[in-house]
């Protein structure tokens, strides 16, 4: 899809512009709870996502969603997204506050992403809506605006991975994101592998999780040993507090695993890549404490299936989805997801 160009829009006042924007969700292959300390992550935009159809008119944004009982009705001058109701309208309000469009709109939202499952459903809504409301700018600016919208809406101090993966996806590639420079490097995925997402069946909300506490713990570790991106395990060992030491050990080791995973993909070494995913899951479970018994059982179950190279929780944890790297056709459960391009919008 292309950005709408001015010449495609009839100038007659009575004709309303109608746009359709689509933003993919993402699955993170490796590198979780690293983005908010300037670390490395390796997500891919997926062929599941969120579409917004909007007819531009009026001085508020009115959206209905097939997944919600009540519509979102947001005034263009909204100033406190966190207190808008119903709760899903907070994300709409966060985006309106960021984009500040001169004109509102009426339309709908449709998604085939599970909500609250670690596949960046809220980021996909934000990115699609920002484009539908006329945001213009490169993918990084779009992602940063939508991250601010997410934080204003939810109060969760999230990193930028989800919005950046949705905005900057590249077909056939995972994205190596360096969260200290915000550089995005596409990493081609070998053709002889499948990425499979399996839902644990447990929904989670980051505002109801220990996400913010984990971020604070990482910042406390940074205060002791400096930027975790530059630290090594010897630095981590100097932290006296056992909890902060485990949190820092996860981040430092996870950054190293992301680099090793990207190299394994480049060398078509799927066994090595899968092994790194398993190590990542154990680190998220044992050092970062964001797994659950259900996620652990699901990972163990998937690892027992022939043709599965690796599996791990994906995203923030506390519930949601597991991602597996497998040979084609190895798994009959879950969804095979394909790496897609990032978000786009067109006049319809
Ligand atoms: C959520 C956040 C991201 C990232 C992941 C964990 O998805 O929105 O910024 O921190 O959790 O890797």
Backbone angles phi, psi at 271, to 5 degrees: -65, -45
Q: Identify each DSSP E strand in 2-83 by its residue range.
A: 18-30, 40-56, 60-65, 72-75
Dist. CA 330–CA 195, nearest whole Å: 11
> What residue owns the CA closest to ligand 1's atom 2?
158
Mutate which of 26, 34, 35, 295 to test ligand 1's pocket (most atoms within 8 Å of Cβ)? Answer: 35
Number of H helices and number of E strands within the chain?
9, 12
Q: Is the distance from CB of 314 to CB of 28 less than 8 angstroms?
A: yes
188 CB neighbour count, 10 Å cutoff: 12
By percentage, how much of the chain surpasses pLDDT 90?
A: 93
The reply to whether ligand 1 has any atom less than 6 angstroms from the CB of 315 is yes
CA-proximal residue: ligand 1, atom 9 (nearest): 159
The answer, yes or no, to whether residue 97 has pLDDT greater than 60, is: yes
Residue 72 has pLDDT above 70, yes or no: yes
Residue from 37, 341, 92 nearest 216 by CA: 37
Q: Is the pLDDT higher at 203 or at 50?
A: 50
Residues in the chain: 348
Tokens, residue 79: 């100033």
For 54-80, what is the mean pLDDT? Answer: 97
Structure tokens at 247: 């949190």
- Kindly name the residue from 162, 178, 286, 341 that is annotated as catalytic: 162
* 338-346 average pLDDT score: 98
pLDDT at 11 over 60: no
Q: Which atom of ligand 1 is nearest to the CA of 120?
A: 7
The helix (run of H) or strand (run of E) holding residue 88 is: none
262, two tokens: 């990207």
Question: Which band of pLDDT confidence, cut at 50, 70 and 90, is reported for residue 7?
Answer: very low
The pLDDT of residue 206: 76
- Residue 332 Cα to ligand 1 midpoint, Å, equals 28
- What pLDDT, on a 0 to 100 scale, did the predictor assign at position 3? 45
Least confident of 19-28, 100-109, 181-190, 198-207: 198-207
* Order of strands, sheet of 308-313, starting from the edge strand that comes earlier in the sequence: 308-313, 321-326, 194-199, 335-337
Q: Nearest Cα to 166, choosing from 27, 265, 39, 53?
A: 27
pLDDT class of 13 with cuts at 50, 70, 90: low
Instruction: Please name the residues in contact with 284: beta carbons below 8 A apart, sequence gap of 6 or more.
Output: 32, 33, 250, 254, 290, 291, 312, 313, 317
42: pLDDT confidence band, cut at 50, 70 and 90?
very high
How far does the centroid of ligand 1 lie from the alpha carbon of residue 160, in Å?
7
Q: Are 63 and 72 in contact (CB under 8 A)?
A: yes
Percent of the chain with pLDDT over 70: 95
DSSP letter for each residue of 11-29: --TTSPPEEEEEEEEEEEE
Cβ neighbours, 10 Å, residue 199 = 18
- Residue 123 CA: nearest ligand 1 atom is 8
Task: State whether the beta carbon of 162 lies less than 6 angstroms from ligand 1.
Answer: yes
Averaged pLDDT, 310-337: 97
Q: Per mean pLDDT, which range of 113-117, 124-128, 170-174 is the poorest?
A: 113-117
Q: Is 162 a catalytic residue?
A: yes
CA of 319 to the centre of ligand 1 (A): 13
State the SS3 of 255-280. Answer: HHHHHHHHHHHHCCCHHHHHHHHHHH
Q: Name the pLDDT band for 4 (thresholds 50, 70, 90).
A: very low
Show the tokens assigned to 18: 């109608």
Encode pLDDT of 166-179 as tens digits. Answer: 999 999 999 999 99
Average pLDDT over residues 3-30: 76
209 pLDDT above the threshold of 80: no
- Indicate if ligand 1 lies below 6 Å from the C-beta of 33: yes
Q: Output the pLDDT for position 15.
A: 79
Ligand 1 touching residue 254 (CB < 6 A): no
Ligand 1 geometric centre to CA of 31 (Å): 10
What global pTM score does this model have?
Answer: 0.94
Nearest ligand 1 atom, CA 316:
11
């Amino acid at each position: 899809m292309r950005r709408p160009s001015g010449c495609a829009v009839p100038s007659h006042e009575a004709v309303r512009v109608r746009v359709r924007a689509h933003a993919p969700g993402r699955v993170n292959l490796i590198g979780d709870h690293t983005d908010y300390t300037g670390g490395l992550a390796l997500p891919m935009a997926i062929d599941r996502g969120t579409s917004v159809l909007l007819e531009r008119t009026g001085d508020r944004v009115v959206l209905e969603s097939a997944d919600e009982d009540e519509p979102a009705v947001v005034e263009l001058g909204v100033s406190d997204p966190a207190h808008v109701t119903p709760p899903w309208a907070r994300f709409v309000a966060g985006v309106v506050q960021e984009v500040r469009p001169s004109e509102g709109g009426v339309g709908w939202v449709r998604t085939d992403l599970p909500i609250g499952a670690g596949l960046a459903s809220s980021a996909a809504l934000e990115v699609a809506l920002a484009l539908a409301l006329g945001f213009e700018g490169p993918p990084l600016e779009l992602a940063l605006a939508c991250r601010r919208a997410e934080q204003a809406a939810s109060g969760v101090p999230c990193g930028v991975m989800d919005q950046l993966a949705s905005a900057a996806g590249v077909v056939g590639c995972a994205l190596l994101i360096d969260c200290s420079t915000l550089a995005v490097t596409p990493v081609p995925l070998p053709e002889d592998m499948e990425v499979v997402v399996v839902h644990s069946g447990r929904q989670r909300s980051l505002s109801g999780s220990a996400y913010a506490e984990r971020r604070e713990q990482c910042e406390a570790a940074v205060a002791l040993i400096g930027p975790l991106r530059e630290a090594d395990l010897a630095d981590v060992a100097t932290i006296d507090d056992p909890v902060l030491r485990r949190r820092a050990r996860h981040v430092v080791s996870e950054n190293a695993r992301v680099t090793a995973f990207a190299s394994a993909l480049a060398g078509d070494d799927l066994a090595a890549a899968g092994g790194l995913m398993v190590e990542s899951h154990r680190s998220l479970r044992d050092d970062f404490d964001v797994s659950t018994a259900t996620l652990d059982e699901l990972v163990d179950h998937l690892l027992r299936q022939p043709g599965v190279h690796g599996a791990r929780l994906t995203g923030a944890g506390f519930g949601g989805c597991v991602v597996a790297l497998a040979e084609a056709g190895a798994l009959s459960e879950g969804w095979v997801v394909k790496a897609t391009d990032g978000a786009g919008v067109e006049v319809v």
